Each structure stands twice: as C-alpha cells, then as structure tokens.
Chain A
Amino acid sequence: QKEVEQDPGPLSVPEGAIVSLNCTYSNSAFQYFMWYRQYSRKGPELLMYTYSSGNKEDGRFTAQVDKSSKYISLFIRDSQPSDSATYLCAMKLTGGGNKLTFGTGTQLKVEL
C-alpha cells in the first residue's frame, strides 16, 4: 500500500462546476500538506501549502485537511478550461527531513 493514495481519474466536468479532488494517507506523522498543478510537459506548480489541520482559501481554490481521518481535499470553484491539468497532492513530515511524498496525481478536464 502506498503512503499517499490518489484517484488518477480522469475526471471530466463542465465549465463552471465545483471540482473536488482528494487524497488519503497512512502516515499520521505528516504535518505539511500541499497541492500542485501540473500541465503537460511542465513542472509541478504550487497551488496551496498548509500546516496541520483546517481550511485555507485562495481565490477559487480551497484546501482542507482532516488529520483525524487522514484525508485532504482541494476544491476548485467556477472551474475553467484553463484548470485542465493533473493535480498532485504532496505531504511532508515535520523535523524528519524535507522530502515530499506525492500522490499519483488526478487528471482533470474542464469542458466547455
């Protein structure tokens, strides 16, 4: 079993829909949680960076962390065709090195 599980999709939604992307994890020592967006043949681009549990909002994006359930989510409101990309969740321990552990990524397509 992988430390971080993420449904690979693909997920197809109409323009304007609310998108929900999720990851589960097994290591309760993860304390930092990130969402990256990756376009084809490009590097991952940081969208959200959160520490411990709770919610964080930035424009159309909201990140949620539920440490009790070992579950994190990214919500995208008013989705646009330009949001079509692969979304990667990533996690990091605190104090135990700086490596990120990634999910496999979810491929999202927002259709006109």
Chain B
Amino acid sequence: GAGVSQTPSNKVTEKGKYVELRCDPISGHTALYWYRQSLGQGPEFLIYFQGTGAADDSGLPNDRFFAVRPEGSVSTLKIQRTERGDSAVYLCATSKGTNQPQHFGDGTRLSIL
C-alpha cells in the first residue's frame, strides 16, 4: 500500500519567508509525528498528533513553528520568518496508534538562503 507521502520533496526559499510542508499519512494511521534531521544527525522530535489534536509539541524550537491536522489525516508544518538555521530535512512519520511502530516518509529538504 501507499506509504507516508511528503510534499514538496525539496523547498528553497529566502530568509524571512513563510513555508508550508505537507504530510499525507498511511491510510488508517491515527498518530502523526514531525521530526527534523540535520546533516550527520539523527531525526529530532518536533510534534506529535493523536487524531486532530497536538498531544505533544515539546520539540517545537520556538513560536515560528506551528503544525495543524484539522481533519485527523493530512498535516501541515508551518514555519514563519524562516532563518538559515531552519535548513534541514523535515520528516513526517505515522503509526496505527500509541506504542506502534512509526513509519517515515522521505522528507522535505528545506534550504533557506
């Protein structure tokens, strides 16, 4: 079946701009996660949704970062006033529920010039 789909696969923008990154989960997966991976590092947790609500947003680095999942399926990660330090691969993962394996998409490679 179809895996986690992330769009766009690449995004290049200028410092100060607003970006939106989209995640389409595996069908039937109720839990959705966003991670950020810098070069040579493992993914770092940003936020976790169970259904429509953010159950844990403790990993969001500051208030420029925001994520939504209005209908409990597709999620959008939004970054305002982008900075060069935001450049990274943003990964989305989904699972059938709590304590279930997380399956990742191929990520969005974000470059801030």
Contacts and interface: CB of A to CB of B under 8 A. Distances in A.
Interface of A: 4, 6, 8, 32, 34, 36, 41-46, 49, 88, 90, 92, 94, 97-105
B99 A99 contact: no
Nearest to B109: A41
Nearest to A31: B99
B103 interface: yes
Given A43-B4, A88-B42, A90-B42, A99 B59 contact: yes
A36 B107 CA distance: 15
Given A97-B48, A98-B95, 18 more contacts: A4-B42, A32-B99, A36-B104, A41-B106, A41-B109, A44-B104, A46-B103, A90-B42, A92-B99, A97-B58, A98-B31, A100-B33, A101-B45, A102-B42, A102-B43, A104-B40, A104-B41, A104-B42
In the complex, which range does the number of interface residues on chain B fall in?
Answer: 20 to 34
Contacts of A36: 104
B47 to A, nearest CB: 9
B103 A100 contact: no
B55 interface: yes
B72 interface: no
A98 B104 contact: no
Given A43-B91, A44-B91, A104-B40, A98 B105 contact: no
A102 B101 CA distance: 14
B20 interface: no
B102 interface: yes
A49 B42 CA distance: 17
A99 B33 contact: yes
11 contacts: A42-B106, A43-B4, A43-B104, A45-B104, A92-B99, A94-B99, A97-B48, A102-B42, A102-B43, A104-B41, A105-B42
Contacts of B14: none
